[in-house]
DNA sequence: CGCACAGTTGACAATAGTCAAACGATGTGG
DNA sequence: CCACATCGTTTGACTATTGTCAACTGTGCG
């Protein structure tokens, strides 16, 4: 606990964290015993909304989810993307504190909150396991605060691409499940700035694009320097 | 768990969260049994640095702490301010994931990490308690992401002032323990923009200033609308 | 009293946002 | 099978918010 974690991943409540290794889309995960009810959600549909009464906890079986918060006038901040194996449904005061929507066709497993809490209370080590991954989520949240508050557009894009690559086994080719608008709302930019910055990186030969959703990382060193804020000319 | 929390506060690992009521600067807190070693730190001094081997967990007894992360070129993002009763020392891979410095004269209680982990393992309910406050911290982190990614300078300042007021019992007068540069690095702005925005709010009569560190909230409704992003003219 | 430092203000620059148009892929109907 | 409609992406011209730089002010401490 509070120490190095092994490979594999689970996202409990909005941030990806590394835990025990497991296969990508199969049985219950996260040390989570028992099966929930299967549920299918169409692309673009809402799993739950911010402020809604928090009845359930979900596990992503297949597909990608976006979590976000809104300001009164509609401005949106995406706080995280969820992949198979991740859990969602974090609540405060009995209400979901963010909204969740399907970015792709989605398969979920649903657990009632009562059952989830009973399991956390009764299964030995489960509370501690969830604590561990929650700490890791907090760490991700702090990295994202550094990104949102202090990085330039190019540095944000570089960080994002490396982050996505890492989740895909650091392959040369990164597949983006989300559109430009989602990337923008995740990085605190506009979709136009995301486009322009990607084009700029293409022009410099740092990346190449097979298509809009498939990016090749041609100069990983350059991207890493950008992401770390080491370059005098951050764009 | 995952439900409404009572008054009082604890900051475990960087974000303030509401837990069981307690007096402000007295005995051990957070359901945390036993006493740690007392330690005094001068204003501006470092408690620990990012990346340093994480030997200890600390509890703030008196004073204010800033937690921050740095980019390679020195840009700084403050991820939270800690007040009496808060805990700090979150680590990943055996190393602190942020730096901590004293904003004021500071009194801490220090617990060795081994002892802390033993307590978490052995004391019934402690892991769950820490899980609860950690969830609340995560919520605070998500609010801060919304602020950093999507709010204007005026909206950030309004949110910050209301946040500080809330921690001081929602008094009309807010006392700021931190300087303009710290506020700037917390909100993702520069100190000049913080000054200019505060002056603008003064000009509009929304706030008044007894001194640089003592702000009077004259129109709380206006501040709340600003913080929520409800105003057509966000500045 | 004056030195040092934090805070404030203003002129100007730059990064990112806005608006609008064009382009490209994808999917449907003729 | 092609034409067309639609939606997401890309690009460019222009705007605006915030950052930079520098000077000035106020406050507190020796």
pLDDT at B61: 96
Q: Which residue has the tokens 């809009």?
A: A212
Please, which residues have CB within 8 angstroms of residue B109's CB and are 6 or more apart in sequence? B28, B35, B36, B37, B38, B39, B58, B59, B61
Residue B173 has pLDDT above 70, yes or no: yes
Q: Which nucleotide minimizes the distance between its C1' and the CA of B191?
A: C7
pLDDT at B135: 87
CA of A157 to C1' of D13 (A): 24
What tens digit of pLDDT does each residue of A8-67 get? Answer: 333 445 444 433 333 333 444 454 666 789 999 999 999 999 999 999 999 999 999 999
Minimal CA–CA distance to B160: which of B188, B196, B134, B139?
B188
pLDDT at B130: 82
- A17 min Cα distance to partner chain B (Å): 11
Q: How many C-beta neighbours within 10 Å does residue A42 have? A: 9
Angstrom distance (rounded) from CA B229 to CA B166: 19
What is the percent of chain B where pLDDT is above 90? 70
Taking residues B51-79, report their average pLDDT: 97
Taking residues B157-183, report their average pLDDT: 97
- Report DSSP letters for A115-150, one per residue: HHHHHHHHSTTHHHHHHHHHHHHHHHHHHHHHHHHH
Sign of the torsion angle spanned by Cα atoms A187, A189, A195, A200: negative
Q: Which residue has the tokens 């990016």?
A: A215
State whether the beta carbon of A188 lies below 7 angstroms from any atom of strand C: yes
- DSSP assignment letter at B70: E
Cα-based distances in Å from A157 to A21, A65, A182, A221: 28, 20, 13, 14
Query: Quick check: B92 and A1 CB within 8 A?
Result: no
Tens-digit pLDDT string for chain A (235 aa): 333 333 333 344 544 443 333 333 344 445 466 678 999 999 999 999 999 999 999 999 999 999 999 999 999 999 999 999 999 998 888 999 999 999 999 999 999 999 988 888 888 878 778 888 888 889 999 999 999 999 999 999 999 999 999 999 999 999 999 999 999 999 999 999 999 999 999 999 999 999 999 999 999 999 999 999 997 554 4
Nearest-CA residue relative to C1' of D7: A179
Angstrom distance (rounded) from CA B52 to CA B66: 16
Q: Which residue has the tokens 């990608």?
A: A64
Contact B125, B104 (CB under 8 A): no
Phi, psi dihedral angles at B45 (to 5 degrees): -80, 160
What tens digit of pLDDT does each residue of B106-123 get? Answer: 999 999 999 988 888 888
Most A-contacting residue of B16, B145, B187, B191 (CB-CB within 10 A), to test interface: B145
Chain B residues whose beta carbon lies within 8 Å of the beta carbon of residue A232: 73
Residue B134 has pLDDT above 90, yes or no: no
Listed by range, residues with Cβ under 7 angstroms from strand D are A 179-181, 191-192, 194-196, 198-199, 209, 212-213; B 152-154, 188-190, 192-193, 211, 235
Q: What is the mean pLDDT of chain B?
A: 86
Q: What order of strands is seen across the sheet that includes strand A173-175?
A: A173-175, A214-217, A207-211
CA of B196 to C1' of C13 (A): 17
Contact A197, A113 (CB under 8 A): no
pLDDT at A233: 53
Residue B3 has pLDDT above 50, yes or no: no
The most distant pair of C-alpha atoms in chain B lies apart, rounded to whole Å, by 56
Partner residue facing A131 (CB), from B130, B145, B232 = B130
Angstrom distance (rounded) from CA A32 to CA A110: 12
* Cα dihedral B40/B45/B51/B53 (nearest 10): -30
pLDDT at A16: 46
Cβ within 8 Å of B, A 55-114? 69, 71-73, 75-77, 79, 90-94, 97-98, 113
Residue B204 has pLDDT above 60, yes or no: yes
Please, which residues have CB within 8 angstroms of residue B224's CB and are 6 or more apart in sequence? B158, B162
State whether the beta carbon of B179 lies below 7 angstroms from any atom of strand C: yes
Token pair for A143: 């990295």
pTM: 0.89
pLDDT top residue among B5 and B92: B92
């Amino acid at each position: 606990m509070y120490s190095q974690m092994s490979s594999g991943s689970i996202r409990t409540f909005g941030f990806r964290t590394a835990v025990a290794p497991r296969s990508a889309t199969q049985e219950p995960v996260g040390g989570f015993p028992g099966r929930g009810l299967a549920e299918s959600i169409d692309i673009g549909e809402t799993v739950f909304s911010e402020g809604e009464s928090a009845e359930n906890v979900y596990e992503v079986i297949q597909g990608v989810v976006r979590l976000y918060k809104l300001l009164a006038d509609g401005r949106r901040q995406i706080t995280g993307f969820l992949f198979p194996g991740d859990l969602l449904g974090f609540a405060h005061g009995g209400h979901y504190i963010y909204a969740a929507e399907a970015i792709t066709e989605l398969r979920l497993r649903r657990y009632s909150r009562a059952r989830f809490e009973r399991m956390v209370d009764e299964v030995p080590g489960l509370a501690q396991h969830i604590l561990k991954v929650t700490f890791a989520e907090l760490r991700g949240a702090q990295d994202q605060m550094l990104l949102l508050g202090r990085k330039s557009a190019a540095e944000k894009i570089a960080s994002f691409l490396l982050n996505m690559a890492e989740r895909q086994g650091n392959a040369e080719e990164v597949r983006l499940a989300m559109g430009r608008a989602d990337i923008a709302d995740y990085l605190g930019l506009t979709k136009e700035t995301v486009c322009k910055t990607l084009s700029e990186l293409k022009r410099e030969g740092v990346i190449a694009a097979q298509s809009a959703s498939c990016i090749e990382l041609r100069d990983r060193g350059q991207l890493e320097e950008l992401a770390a804020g080491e370059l005098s000319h951050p764009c």
